[in-house]
Structure 1
Amino acid sequence: MENKPTSITLQNFTTESGAFYASLNLSFHVFGPALNTAPIVLVNHALTGNSQVIGSNGWWNILIGENKTINTNKYTVLAFNVPGNGYDDVLIENYLDFNTRDVARIFLEGIEFLKIQQLYAIIGGSVGGGIAWEMVALEPKITQHLIPIATDWKSTDWLIANCYLQEQILKNSRKPIEDARIHAMLCYRTPESFKAKFQRTTNEEQAIFNVESWLNHHGAKLQKRFQLSAYKMMNQLLKTIDITRNNSSFEEIISKIEANIHIIGIDSDLFFTVNENRETFEELKKLNKNVSYGEINSIHGHDAFLIEYKQLDNLLKDIF
């Protein structure tokens, strides 16, 4: 399963901000039946993820695979790497050239290159879900089902503020990846989650609290496998989700989308808050969209979409 991603090269790409790239590398993995022989599910990865969604280092093994919720005996699973995420050893230093819509356009070019007419579903958590929203805003007929999880169609002021702090840490810290990760973990989890996990216990050996040693561990772990420019790029994308960019109205964009939309929120998410998800759902209902809303109940916050498998399975099984 741990095969290297396949790469294609896209020519002459100009970003929304006007930056020109003569060539861009787009790499991807395919799992299950060969492309265009079965319904295709596109999986968009989150900040530290990549195209390796299943396998020994797969980050969504609990959801995808043989006889799992998204069954690779029945569906072809396609996953692109966000250009610059470093998984294919290609980095992009000028991360400010890009926004989330650019990545959506790049993924759509990849789909065209692979001669895919329509997807069965696009599913993504966090920034991956934001890219999914941008994709259907650009190509309203591209998929039958849109499944944005722990995300929204726009980055809120609260999210932008957190990404701004992340960027300051990434630019100014002596240990940028470790320190940014420590801050990020506070957004990905919740006070209740920490309380249940650590109970104010201490690590005798290191003479620090266990919550501190856990945060240090996560920082060091990411430092080993993630590059600074990749983190800057992904953080920039998290900050720039907005399907109404360039002054299109929400109503206008949504009215064109043909997909069934299945929003999944997390009641304790501190990052993409549940109130924003419910508001989006209400707006879509008003516009007579074929939309459903499901909620994961968890103390674990934003990361619950990677943890609460049973609930996610229940929310998705009717689609798959």
Structure 2
Amino acid sequence: MKNNLSHINILSYVTESGTQFSDIRLSYQLFGRELGTAPVILVNHALTGNSNVAGDSGWWKDIIGVDKVIDINSYSILCFNIPGNGYDDFLIDDYKSFVARDIAKIFLLGLKELGVEQLFALVGGSLGGGIAWEMAVLHPNITKHLIPIATDCKSTDWLIANCQIQELFLTNSNNPVHDARMHAMLCYRTPESFKQRFHRSKNEESTLFNVESWLLHHGKKLQERYQLASYKLMNQLLKTIDVTDEHNDEEVLKYINAEIHIIGVDSDLFFTAEENRETFKELAQNNTNVTYNEINSVHGHDAFLIEYDQLENIFAPIFNENEKTKKNEGFKVWREIIIK
């Protein structure tokens, strides 16, 4: 699939911290209709994700495809690689010079280069959703629908703390990507998810518990496909999501000129549902164009990559005009519960 990558060169970019980069390679993939022939949906990938969002090996192929809830016959689906994620062999060693807002700016520059003035939808999960929030604050008119999933508009103290532990694994471990991934899986899933899956069972071929074998497997698999420089950068971006730009002023969210569809996960230990509800409550005081939906799952943060049936039900009213009435009926219940 990498052969289908297209590239834009972002020249003379100065980061938020004041570091200048002469050339940043921004790669992307396009699925569905050609640009200019259909509404455009931008999907921002998560920490270890990439632009391969659809197709036979796409990480969201259950959501995006022919006759899927996001139908490639009706939309142009665009996905940028976060520069430095390594999917296009472009790496950034000076990772501490970047924050999430830099990636939002680079993505907006990419849209401008492609001649995309407004998106139909801006969708992102986890880190990708945080970048989507940043994009919408920087350019309040960039999208008709903003859909942040299992994420929030700022990195909480809890998230920053976990990123700090990840940083120590990535800088001090003899097996950094492997060990950091093992720790991260404890944030992406839940105790109940582990209990439901493993039941304290052991591997027949070793003395390890199956949960230990599973963690070692995930560490090994990421180590085989992901580079240390990429992991360090993505972890840095994750802990620097902050639409207020450190000014403690969440008023900026009110200027987003889009229908905002916040989607939380009730068991998320990383970007908690409680934080999502607080963000919704803040916005809903003065904005009727914001909705909140919650995925119910034992699987925690990763539920947005697992609970496809629930995601389809939430997405259907947004991407299919005939489903809007159903959305409005269900939303009234959520709005009353949360605001009260």
**Fold conserved between structures, TM > 0.5:** yes
Determine if contact 1:16/1:98 at 8 Å carries over to the other structure.
yes
Q: Does 1:199 align with 2:199?
A: yes
Q: Does 1:244 align with 2:244?
A: yes
**TM-score of the superposed pair, with normalisation by structure 1:** 0.98
One-letter identity of the residue aligned with 2:303: A
Deviations 1:55-97 (A, max 9, x none): 2321111111111111100010000000000000000001001
Deviations 1:105-149 (A, max 9, x none): 000000000011100000010000000000000000000000000
The residue matched to 1:255 in structure 2 has which SS? Answer: helix
The residue matched to 1:203 in structure 2 has which SS? Answer: coil
| Residues 200 and 181 (structure 1), Cα distance of their counterparts in 2 relative to 1, 3 Å cut | same
1:288 CA drift (Å): 2.1
Determine if contact 2:2/2:88 at 8 Å carries over to the other structure.
no
> What residue number does 2:212 align with?
212
Alignment partners' CA distance in 1, 2:213 and 2:246:
45
1:256 CA drift (Å): 1.6
Determine if contact 1:2/1:56 at 8 Å carries over to the other structure.
no
> What residue number does 1:139 align with?
139
Deviations 1:2-45 (A, max 9, x none): 64311110111000000000111000000001011100000000
Aligned-CA RMSD value: 0.9
> What residue number does 2:60 align with?
60
Deviations 1:187-245 (A, max 9, x none): 00000000010010000212100000000000000000000000001011110000001
One-letter identity of the residue aligned with 1:314: N
One-letter identity of the residue aligned with 2:127: V
Determine if contact 2:261/2:293 at 8 Å carries over to the other structure.
yes
| Residues 235 and 289 (structure 1), Cα distance of their counterparts in 2 relative to 1, 3 Å cut | farther
1:289 CA drift (Å): 4.6
**TM-score of the superposed pair, with normalisation by structure 2:** 0.92
1:248 CA drift (Å): 6.5
Determine if contact 1:187/1:302 at 8 Å carries over to the other structure.
yes
Q: What are structure 1's unaligned runs of at least 5 residues?
A: none
Deviations 1:164-201 (A, max 9, x none): 00000000001100100000000000000000100100
Calculate percent identity across the aligned residue pairs: 61
Alignment partners' CA distance in 1, 2:288 and 2:11:
36
Alignment partners' CA distance in 2, 1:70 and 1:236:
31
1:255 CA drift (Å): 2.5
